[in-house]
């Protein structure tokens, strides 16, 4: 009788031990998997972001336009270094220029035509690193109702793989486009066709 009771007690103890061990082993694995599947999401800090566009003028100097109103988001993968979801929208109506005449022309129908096309947008879904902090983002630029593939060459202020998830980062991007591709063909003898675009932004956790 005593031996039978002892065997039952041992079997009960083993069953309880297994029941307690299974959640202890499974829960961390589930937690790591769920954490790894979540991207790092950032919003562009509108108070620390702007876009500048520079174009040759008369072959002797440059004209610069500034776009101070920028909004957007960035998502980076925790397990795929070259995955990215980047979306940047520029309010062309807030455009600034060096002088009133240039400002009027740039906002008018010959160039950005801000009355009909108030936004300029770049959307990127693939990234190829060229260094620890430098990469090329391939995507699509939309301006004046025209969408074309373009490449944004970016530099992070630190290696994204080494950044803590809650830390802000700074990003600088550069793109060169041909304005004629977007219907901006006016003043071709005075204004250069290649436009050098620079994005400077601060990315904050979203």
Alpha helices (runs of H) in the chain, residue ranges in sequence order: 2-36, 100-107
CB neighbourhood size of 129 (10 A): 16
- Give the per-residue pLDDT at 18: 42
pLDDT digit string, tens, across residues 95-149: 999 899 999 999 999 999 999 999 999 999 899 999 999 999 999 999 999 999 9
CA dihedral 142, 143, 145, 150 (to 10 degrees): -40
Residue 27, helix vs strand vs coil: helix
Spatial separation of the C-alpha atoms in residues 192 and 53, rounded to whole Å: 12
Confidence class for position 28, pLDDT limits 50, 70, 90 = very low
Mean pLDDT over each residue of the chain, to the nearest integer: 84
> Is 35 in contact with 132 (CB distance < 8 Å)?
no
Closest by CA position to 117, among listed 90, 86, 88, 153: 90
| Average pLDDT value for residue range 3-12 | 49
State yes or no: pLDDT of 22 exceeds 80: no
State yes or no: pLDDT of 56 exceeds 50: yes
Spatial separation of the C-alpha atoms in residues 81 and 198, rounded to whole Å: 23
Q: Which of 20-24, 45-49, 50-54, 62-66 has the lowest mean pLDDT?
A: 20-24
């Amino acid at each position: 009788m005593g031996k039978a009771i002892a065997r039952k007690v041992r079997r009960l103890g083993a069953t309880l031990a297994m029941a307690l061990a299974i959640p202890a082993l499974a829960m961390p694995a589930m937690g790591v998997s769920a954490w790894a599947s979540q991207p790092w999401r950032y919003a562009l800090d509108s108070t620390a972001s702007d876009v500048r566009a520079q174009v040759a003028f008369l072959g002797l100097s440059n004209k610069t336009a500034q776009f101070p109103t920028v909004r957007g988001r960035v998502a980076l993968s925790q397990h795929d270094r070259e995955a990215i979801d980047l979306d940047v929208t520029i309010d062309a109506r807030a455009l600034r220029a060096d002088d009133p005449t240039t400002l009027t022309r740039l906002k008018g129908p010959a160039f950005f035509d801000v009355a009909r096309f108030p936004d300029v947008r770049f959307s990127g879904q693939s990234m190829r690193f060229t260094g620890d902090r430098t990469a090329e983002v391939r995507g699509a630029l939309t301006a004046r109702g025209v969408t074309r593939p373009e490449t944004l060459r970016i530099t992070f202020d630190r290696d994204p793989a080494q950044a803590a998830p809650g830390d802000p980062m700074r990003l600088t991007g550069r793109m060169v486009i041909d304005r004629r591709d977007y219907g901006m063909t006016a003043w071709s003898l005075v204004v250069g066709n290649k436009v050098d675009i620079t994005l400077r932004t601060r990315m904050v956790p979203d």
